[in-house]
Amino acid sequence: MLTAEEKRGVIKNFSRGTKDTGSPEVQISLMTERINHLEQHFKDHKKDHNSRRGLLIIIGRRRRLLNYLKVKNPTKYETVISKLGLRK
């Protein structure tokens, strides 16, 4: 899991304002951090299938949020993709 400090840093980089924690950009960035953390976990624990299912759920949520952002605000979508280094 992300520590409080890591979470604050991610929110600070992607938030629209000082109290913004629920915008799609922030949610996508937090999910990406969790996905990266879980990828490291699976390098050590190859047979942890329950956590792998959780990873797939998080990936699906992120994909849906990215699709939403692409429709609503294409320029913001492009900036989020470039900042996070995603392939889409």
**What residues contact residue 61 under an 8 Å CB cut-off, 6+ apart?**
31
Phi-psi region of 42 (alpha: psi -120 to 50; beta: other; left: phi over 0): alpha
Each residue's pLDDT expressed in tens, for the chain with a length of 88 residues: 889 999 999 999 999 998 898 999 999 999 999 999 999 999 999 999 999 999 999 999 999 999 999 999 999 999 999 999 998 5
Q: Domains of the chain (ranges plus CATH)?
A: 4-11+20-84 (1.10.287.10)
Contacts of 21 (CB under 8 A, 6+ apart): 11, 15
Under a CB-based contact definition with an 8 Å cutoff, are residues 52 and 36 in contact?
Answer: no
